[in-house]
Amino acid sequence: MSPLPGLVGQADVGGDIVVDCGAVIVGSGAGGATMAAELSEAGVDVIVIEEGGYHPTESFGTNSCRALRTLYRDGGGGMAVGRPSVLFAEGRCVGGSTVVNGGMSWRTPARVLARWAAGGVTAISEPDMEPYFARAEGRHSVGLQDPGTVGRDSELFRGGAEAKGWTVLPNRRNQLHCAGTNNCTNGCPTGAKRSMLVTSVPRALSLGARLFADCRVDRVTRSGAAVTGVTGHFIRQGGRAGPRMTVRARAVIVAGGAVQTPALLARSGLRSASGTLGRNLSLHPNATVIAFFDEDVTGWQGVHQAFQVREFTPEGLLLTATNLTPPMLAGIMPGHGRELGELMADYNRVVTAGPLVSDSGTGRVRNVPGLGAQVFYRLTDSDAARVVRGVELTGQALFAAGARRLLLPFDGTPEARGPGELRRLLSRPVPKRSIQLYSIHLMGTARMNDDPRRGVTDSFGEFHGVPGLFVADASLFPGPTGINPMETVIALAMRNARQLVERRSRYAI
């Protein structure tokens, strides 16, 4: 018996299927699940298709290796090729990346909305978006942490930043009485993190939506200019292709994220008049400073990320401390064998922190025969300089907090054992190719703009020139948000779903 009403997994399907619905949604993350819930609430017959599997809350725990294998695409090891290349992670499960992110929930800054509006997006001002932000926050229990759930690593970082006189804000997260188990990236084992897995997905299904898990969409289908649905296949255990699937629908909503969405659209033979489909990728490059303290920090106790330093947002820098699980930390530690083992032996004395850069560089997504969707990214010289600046600021805060030494995210750079040595090391040119970067915020590859010559979709996510085809994820962003993008995705999906419902007669849904 299915654990959720309307859920169909690969084991439930014995042969090829053909089904009909009003709207089919590709992806069950922040955008897709929100659209599913909003449209189902309005009485639309919805089918959601998710390439990943269904993993309930009770299956989550401390096993990071299992989580990387079952909840992430490519084990969390995506790569944006460039100089330097940037490691990135995408969720691939029911609930998408909301299942494995830290749950940070921030409204799009007013200055960003104003920039988007000036660039050609309508109904995007702060007053326009306020009701959708409020609705998103209410639906997902956005608020501050309960007392006693903030870990020592976060407190040390906050203390160091405040000692420098910097502005520190407590994180707003989509959580309801988070227990501070610090398993966010493994899937929340208590259900306190209000991911799509425990909010919009079950809500949509309770309202009559259907969900196909373990199911890959290969193409969006069309008749003339209008969309007619999608085709694809279920994925058997071990990754084998299973039965074929055809969904006939009058509206198609693609919400696979900033890599998979443009890849699917291009694979379906779609092109944008602007030539921007798959281009304009932003990814908020992150760098990690590894600090060793004399005291036992036990950073794995307490919430994943409790505070943000906003002092340097005018420079496009956001500073945070985020605990990494042992496999994730080992993946960025220098050395191997005995050297790596000796470093990891000090895990309980480690604090990891670093900058997030609101980037000016851009990348693109391309389908490469035999390899699928591939990502390419160019870090600009100015962004590289901001990474170095952010690393130095992070190091200053960590030394002010009592760190005894730092490992820096630059190949070939020795460790720093004090503020003076940190300044000296970073006063010399840092080769761009030596910078170690990662990303979990990919945006902008199907940007919205009312001018078809400048964007892929209109201001409400409808693909220019293809009636009934919509995009509902961070691909829509005209540029980086400079903060965690999840709430922006949810609010835009709510806004765009309302517009679609108001115009439902156009699509007969």
pLDDT tens digits, one per residue of 331-389:
888 888 998 999 999 999 999 999 999 999 899 999 999 999 999 999 999 999 999 99
All structural domains of the chain, each given as residue ranges with its CATH number in brackets, are 7-141+184-236+252-281+441-445+464-507 (3.50.50.60), 152-175+286-358+380-434 (3.30.410)
Residue of 140, 284, 441, 464 with catalytic role: 441
- 118 φ/ψ angles, rounded to the nearest 5 degrees: -65, -25
Is a pLDDT exceeding 70 seen at residue 315?
yes
Active site residue 140: no
> What tens digit of pLDDT does each residue of 18-45 get?
999 999 999 999 999 999 999 999 999 9
Task: Give the per-residue pLDDT at 457.
Answer: 99
Query: Full-prediction pTM beyond 0.75?
Result: yes
Mean pLDDT of 144-172: 96
DSSP code string of 52-75: SB---GGG--S-HHHHHHHHBGGG
Mean pLDDT of 52-72: 96
For 124, residues 6+ apart whose C-beta sits below 8 A from its C-beta are 113, 116, 117, 459
Give the whole-angstrom CA distance, residue 257 versus residue 269. 18
Q: Return the C-alpha torsion angle 246, 247, 253, 255, nearest 10.
A: -50
Confidence of residue 4 (pLDDT cuts 50, 70, 90): confident
Is a pLDDT exceeding 70 seen at residue 1?
no
The residue assigned the tokens 């090829």 is 16
3-state secondary structure (DSSP) of residue 245:
strand
Task: Give the per-residue pLDDT at 50.
Answer: 99
3-state secondary structure (DSSP) of residue 8:
strand
Mean residue pLDDT across the chain:
96
- Choose among 236, 231, 227: nearest CA to 217: 231
Phi/psi region, residue 246 (left: phi>0; alpha: psi -120 to 50; beta: rest), is: beta
> What tens digit of pLDDT does each residue of 257-277 get?
999 999 999 999 999 999 999
Interhelix angle 381-400/419-427, nearest 10 degrees: 170
